[in-house]
Amino acid sequence: MKKKKIMMIDDDDINNYIAEQWIKTSYEDTVSLIVYPHVEGAIQFLETCPAQDFPDLITCDLKMPGFDGFEFVEIYEEEFYRRHPATRIVILSSSIRKDDMEKAKSYTSVIDFVPKLSVQDNFKHIFSHYL
């Protein structure tokens, strides 16, 4: 079985570490995870990524220094969505603002807005619904 490729964009080092360790121990045969703490690094990766290595799913935090999650989604839809329409984005955010949720869901590439709980609970939800 081909591994699903997930890109996680989040500036929270603790969440990133927990996600990496949890996926290594629970899903290492089925999922490969690449983590970027900033939107800029994620965009650079996507610009040079061969089509066969392009992520199947991208999770993105909203509130980050530099470019935020909404700016990432806008760049993604302008630059990458047409070439990779099967890749979907899940917004993972501690924001509970209704307008953030509505704005996130207004993008074609965004399939869900998941409030941050625990890393494991978030990924269990994402895996059960989207992989």
CA 123 to chain CA centroid, nearest Å: 11
pLDDT for position 119:
67
pLDDT for position 57:
95
Instruction: Confirm if 127 and 27 have CB atoms less than 8 A apart.
Output: yes
Model pTM greater than 0.85?
yes
- List, for residues 72-107, the tens digit of each pLDDT value: 999 999 999 999 999 999 998 887 788 988 999 899
pLDDT band at 42 (very low <50, low <70, confident <90, very high): very high
Of the ranges 17-21, 47-51, 102-106, 124-128, which one carries the lowest mean pLDDT score?
Answer: 124-128
pLDDT for position 16:
87
